Homo-oligomer: A and B are copies of this chain.
Amino acid sequence: MPTDRSPRPTLEAVAAHAGVSRATVSRVVNGGPGVRAEVRERVRASVQALGYAPNFAARSLVTRRTGAVAVVIAEPESRVFSDPFFSRQLRGIGRELACHDTQLLLMLQERAEDHERISRYLAGGHVDGVLMFSLHGQGPPPGAQALAAGLPTVFGGRPGWPGAAEDPGLLYVDADNRGGARLATEHLLGLGRRRPAALTGPLDQTSALDRLHGFQDALTAAGLAPSRAPTAGGSFTAEGGERAMAQLLEHEPGLDAVFAGSDLMAVGALRALRAAGRRVPEDVAVVGFDDLESASWADPPLTTVRQDVEGMGRIMARLLLRQIGDVPADGGRGVTARTEEPASPVITEARLVVRASA
């Protein structure tokens, strides 16, 4: 037979064992008030003796809470797990949720049919809220499904679909991509470089776009024409960076600095530069973005923009938990944290980390 799922004891059983009613056991289990200390102890002992654990589905059915939160990751070709950036953010989320006794459901939306499956899940009340990462710009507004299901939702990164910017109720957490990119570019210019180029990620992602804008901001401020600065785009990967860099070198052999949209791209750029016989940083200075672990391994170690990725994850989780309402710690005996101030998007700081590449 397919696994002999031994029947777990119910509230009823504990009540009988302790000689009290179901209601009393429920009170004890949930830490509710109004139970004599003596009875409370007796019930506790019975719970222990029978190895009772409350049935999640039954509880959830009446409380309308699941104590779980979905992390939806919408991306055509799931780089999620290979992308250390994401991984760290996910870790931050996981840790924060664990602190509040909340489970994390991971939902990967790689293809169109996943969209439907996930919508169904969200509508089915599996979770109390949603953390939404939608990395691509095309397709149906990803995350609309969660909002439509009436679930509290927090976005990772600034949502980029048409109209998103106008919606003041949209909650998201993002790094200061624009400011960070500006910082990095100013560093290049401060080094005396006058022919900087940019390697951008997919411009349908707001992070890539914002970083490009930051790059241009710095040029403008320094009196250079952003439109004249060479730019090439690709995916946020080492391969993408390598290809874009090669392309850039072909069209603009005179460039003396490169702002890469991500560390992975920067690593690729280093490869392409080496292949072209350029020295880094002597001939071409390179800065990256993200400060991944691999940034410090690179040869030469990358100057890059650091974001507190794990912290962003934690903030996302916290924001969501606040939206959900009361923090479901210990079965609800905690204080109900009403949303005093209206929640609003959070932009976290980005800092320059100077290493050898620039």
Contacts and interface: CB of A to CB of B under 8 A. Distances in A.
A125 B324 contact: no
- Sorted nearest first, the 9 A-B pairs with minimum C-beta distance are A2-B325, A81-B87, A53-B123, A57-B60, A56-B124, A57-B61, A81-B91, A6-B150, A57-B57
Contact of A56 (B108, B117, B126): B126
A66 interface: yes
A223 to B, nearest CB: 38
A138 interface: no
Given A5-B64, A82-B87, A103-B105, 13 more contacts: A2-B336, A3-B150, A3-B152, A55-B125, A56-B124, A56-B126, A57-B125, A82-B84, A95-B110, A98-B117, A101-B117, A103-B107, A104-B107
A210 B267 CA distance: 34
A117 B54 CA distance: 13
Contact of A323 (B3, B110, B150): B3
Interface stretch (A17-25, A36-44, A187-195, A292-300): A292-300
B98 A114 contact: yes
Contacts of A54: 124
B121 A103 contact: yes
A59 to B, nearest CB: 8
Interface string A51-76: 10111111011001010100000000
A56 B125 contact: yes
A88 B82 contact: yes
Contacts of A339: 2
Interface in A266-315: 267, 271, 293-294, 297, 299
Contacts of A103: 105, 107, 121, 126
Interface of A: 2-6, 8, 51, 53-58, 60-61, 64, 66, 68, 78, 80-82, 84, 87-88, 90-91, 94-95, 98, 101, 103-108, 110, 114, 117, 120-121, 123-126, 150, 152, 238, 267, 271, 293-294, 297, 299, 323-326, 336, 338-339
Nearest to A66: B57
Contact of A106 (B64, B104, B294, B336): B104
Contacts of A294: 294
Contacts of A107: 103-104
Contacts of A51: 123
Nearest to A68: B105
A339 B55 CA distance: 27
A253 B15 CA distance: 71
B3 A124 contact: no
Nearest to A268: B297
A119 B105 CA distance: 17
Nearest to A298: B297
A259 to B, nearest CB: 21
B55 A61 contact: yes
